[in-house]
Amino acid sequence: MIKKIRKKLMLLFLSFTMLIFTAAMCVLIYNTVRRVQNYEIAFIDNTADSIIALAQQTKDLSMLPLSEYNDKLHGFIFISDGIHSQSNSKNTDMTFQTVSDQIKSGKNILSMEATAPERGKNLSTSKSVCAIGDNNKNAFYGLYSTFYMNNAVCEMVLACPRSDFGTILQRNCLWYLAIWSCVGILMFFISHFLIGEAVRPIETAMKSQKDFIASASHELKSPLAVIQANAETLHIKEADSASAQKQSIILTECSRMSDLIHSLLLLAASDTGHWTMHMKKTNVDTLLIELWEEYIEAAQKKDLQLDLDIEDQYPLLLCDKDRIRQALGVLLDNALFYSSPGFPIETGAKVMDKSILFYVKDHGPGIADKDKEKVFLRFYSGDPARTDKNHYGLGLSVASEIIKLHHGNIKLMDTPGGGCTFTVQLPVDSAD
């Protein structure tokens, strides 16, 4: 139980802390992507400014070293004064018309800028940058600019590759993943330490409780045996019916107390890992027949029909036969106790995929849905007042522990028409 609590607390702590850290990391990644994109926009914008400044200075388009600029852009450059034009392209698919059409369409505009002319000069410029291309494999930044040179309006188109989101992440953000992984590992060890320290008092208290129950049960076993033995050897006169009745009560209560102590010792041994299992290959049909023969007389006394369903052939089951009989016996005990006369009780086993499914089905009052998860808890009883002295609420706990030690599972379901159906599924992978 403590292990489950520890795991749940660790999972909760890790989920909460890593969720916060992941959110912060996503913000950082987003800012990094935006910074790279802004850098690329600023790069094409600065390149355009350099070309315009050089053109206005030289006043001759043929003097512009466009190839040098395009070596940095790795895209497309076109400049024209209406009479003369010059272009340079690193992408054979790009032409002035295709690039300018997309830019002039006004879609995906990222920035626009216009400068006022200086006094006495007509040197105003305008620039607009937009995203062009229909997919990430052919994505570019496009810039369209107009400026004055030699009293003529010149136009210029630039295009350079645009990094897609995945490329930016791969180039700039892989170290974020490394940091996230390192933080996750670090938080795992921190949570393991902190949760361990937090639940240590609970572990100590539960261990003390289990040790007390084990010690008390062991110490009670001997004096109880003495009381029972002496009560059995008392010679009561036939006429003394009151004394005989008292002797019977003493023996009955001793038997009940002995069963309780035996169950407590079994659970204590399971908690400490000292419950020894004697695993042997077992015939399932023989196990079921012996169990049926053991309980048929008790069923007949209560006017109950105990039906046994056996298939033609079962694989050998590797198990502790006595313990499995004990677990199935708990289920039959409950079925016999809660069933009303005239109703059948069904037990048997089915061969499933790599497992055998045992079942005990009764048609008694059933168990409410809210109590189904509690029936396997220790000392749980459906009778809050504890008026039923025949059950201490340990039988199903013992059965559950036995099934867990066999790497199986035990479940409770409603029987169609009313009642309870307990199923026990045990693996048979290693049985043959």
Q: Is residue 181 part of a domain?
A: no
Residues 255 and 291 in one domain: no
Helix (H) or strand (E) run with residue 262 in it: helix 241-271
- Indicate if 261 and 140 belong to the same structural domain: no
Q: Please write the tens of the pLDDT for every residue from 180-234.
A: 899 989 998 998 888 888 877 777 766 666 665 566 655 566 676 777 677 777 6
Number of domains in the chain: 3
When pLDDT is cut at 50, 70 and 90, the band that residue 37 belongs to is confident
Residues 157 and 226 in one domain: no
**pLDDT single digits (tens) 248-296:** 777 776 766 666 666 666 666 666 666 677 888 989 999 999 989 988 9
Q: Which of 43-47, 116-120, 255-259, 365-369 has the highest mean pLDDT?
A: 43-47
Q: How confident is the model at residue 94, as a pLDDT?
A: 66
* Same domain for 8 and 138: yes
Beta bridge partners of 152: 149
Return the SS3 of 425: strand
The predicted-structure confidence for 64-110, as pLDDT tens digits, reads as follows: 898 898 888 888 888 988 888 888 887 656 667 777 777 777 677 77
Alpha helices by DSSP H, 272-360: 284-301, 321-338
Same domain, 150 and 48: yes
**Domain ends where: 171, 186, 212?**
171
pLDDT-derived band at 431, boundaries 50, 70, 90: very low
Single-letter amino acid code for the residue at 68: E
Give me the CATH number covering residue 241.
1.10.287
Tell me the torsion sign for CA atoms 367, 373, 377, 383: negative
Rounded to an integer, what distance in angstroms lies between the CA atom of residue 341 and that of residue 179? 69
- Helical segments of 59-123, H only: 66-73, 96-104
**Pairwise CA distance, residues 14 & 7, whole Å:** 10
Domain that holds residue 412: 280-427
* Alpha-carbon gap, residue 222 to 257, rounded angstroms: 12
Same domain as 17, residue 165: yes
Q: Is residue 184 part of a domain?
A: no
| Structure confidence at residue 235 (pLDDT) | 61
CA distances, 216 to each of 1, 256, 261, 293, 419 (Å): 22, 16, 9, 35, 37
Are residue 135 and residue 246 in the same domain, yes or no? no
414 and 349, same domain (yes or no): yes
Residue 73 lies inside a defined structural domain of this protein: yes
138 vs 147: which has the higher pLDDT: 147
229 domain residue, yes or no: yes
pLDDT digits (tens, 9 = 90+) for 367-398: 877 777 778 776 666 544 334 545 556 778 87
